Amino acid sequence: MCTSLVFTGQTPYFGRNLDLEYDFGQQVVITPREFPLTFKKMPTLERHYALIGMAAVAAGWPLYAEAMNEKGLYLAGLNFPQSARYPCGPAEGIPAGPYELIPWLLGTCETVDQAVEQLRRVRLLDVPFLPDMPCAPLHWHLSDGKRTVVAEPTAEGLRLYDDPVGVLTNEPPFPFHQANLCQYQGLSPANPDNRLGAPGLSFFGQGMGGLGLPGDCSPASRYVRAAFHRWNSVCPAEEGPAVSQFFHILDSVAMVRGAVRTPEGKWDITRYACCISPAAGAYYYKTYDGGGIIGVDFSEARRQGDALICLPLESAVPPRLL
């Protein structure tokens, strides 16, 4: 289970929580412009836009969970286990594996509009990356800071939805989350008016305008909670406070070890959270056991070259006594 979050506007930010019961070899990976992107069925991209994001590297290839390219286009894959269907898309479409979608689209597109045109022509294949690595059931969150779109491969085809909220979680499909949000339109960060006709009633605490905001870890509840905090978010425009605020919103929908147990008896936790800043050219992350926010520079020098740049995640930092 995961949550993706988008701040649009003059200074956009993108990012997500990656919720999983195991580590998958994740590390921050920069794919420079001249690293050859080889695909199962498509021609190799010898030159492309540079990418930065969290990935596992298998057989020398970056398997991104999410990434942003040098033009500020963001794409994240989130678990969609009940509804995802492969193959999906026009029979004569561009053949791509689900794991190829992030490097292919971000390697070739500058904007959401361009990526949507490619998605309308793609045929998502049920071809495993390796024999022991089947295709993950995913849907995707796509944004350039101006327009945000959700792409869902279903039995009815690859569905594309404009996303006015800037949030994506998991099942059910995106139209459900939009309809479900209608039930929470009355929530407010301010205490509500007394409309019960009893003048002696008073509030015994702040935050009662948010009564009814769901607090569990289900995808539907995380969607509503993230949407509420995103919509009511207030912070200075400077990079530091904005990034901090972004992580606080992700924290509000993070998985705490012990709260969600999988059928196999393992604990689903937020392995990492990230925030990507196109304006600063920076990828920020923090891990479940880490000591704080780490920033990775997506500099021009790192965008050049033909070899992957792999940056292992910083290990846990124990609390300090001052």
Q: Length of the chain in residues, anyone?
A: 322
Sign of the C-alpha dihedral computed for residues 73, 77, 82 and 88 taken in this order: positive
In which element (H, E) is residue 283 found? strand 282-287
Neighbouring C-beta atoms of residue 9, cutoff 10 Å: 9
Residue labelled with tokens 């509000």: 252
**Residue pair 255/17 in contact by the 8 Å Cβ criterion:** yes
Catalytic residue among 2, 88, 274, 275: 2
Among 21, 30, 27, smallest CA distance to 2 is for 21
Strand partners, 261: 267
**Residue pair 281/50 in contact by the 8 Å Cβ criterion:** no
User: Residues 6 or more apart from 154 whose CB is under 8 A from it?
Assistant: 83, 84, 85, 88, 173
Q: Vertex 249, ends 245 and 250: CA angle to 5°?
A: 115
- DSSP 8-state class, residue 150: E
**Among this protein's residues, is 2 annotated catalytic?**
yes
- DSSP 8-state class, residue 207: -
Whole-number Å distance between alpha carbons of 137 and 134: 9
Residues forming the active site: 2
